[in-house]
């Protein structure tokens, strides 16, 4: 299950996705995608986000 990095909601369908620095990010909605791509650092954690695995 992907988590939207902007609002931390679970993303059911990976419709909205962006590749930044070779990493694919998935978003719950277009607004989150735009916000993230506008300022990726604002939403990125300093360390790699732990995927639930
Ligand atoms: Zn979101």
Distance 28 CA to ligand 1 centre (A): 4
> What is the number of structural domains in the chain?
1
Residue pLDDT, tens place only, 1-53: 888 999 999 998 768 999 988 999 999 999 999 999 999 988 876 555 555 54
Write out the residue range of the structural domain in which residue 6 sits. 2-43
Token readout for 27 is: 């978003």
On whether residue 28 sits in a domain, the answer given is: yes
Distance 5 CA to ligand 1 centre (A): 7
On whether residue 20 sits in a domain, the answer given is: yes
Distances (CA, A) of 15 to 5, 9, 45, 47: 14, 14, 23, 25
The pLDDT value given to residue 45: 66
Distance 42 CA to ligand 1 centre (A): 14
On whether residue 50 sits in a domain, the answer given is: no
Distances (CA, A) of 18 to 2, 5: 13, 11
**What would the 3-class secondary structure string for 25-47 be?**
EEECCHHHHHHHHHCHHHHCCCC
Give the CA radius of gyration of the chain: 10
Distance 20 CA to ligand 1 centre (A): 16
């Amino acid at each position: 299950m992907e988590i939207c990095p902007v609002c931390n909601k679970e993303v059911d369908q990976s419709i909205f996705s962006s590749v930044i620095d070779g990493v694919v990010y998935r978003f719950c909605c277009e607004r989150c995608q735009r916000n993230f791509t506008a300022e990726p650092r604002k939403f990125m954690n300093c360390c790699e986000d732990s995927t639930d695995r």
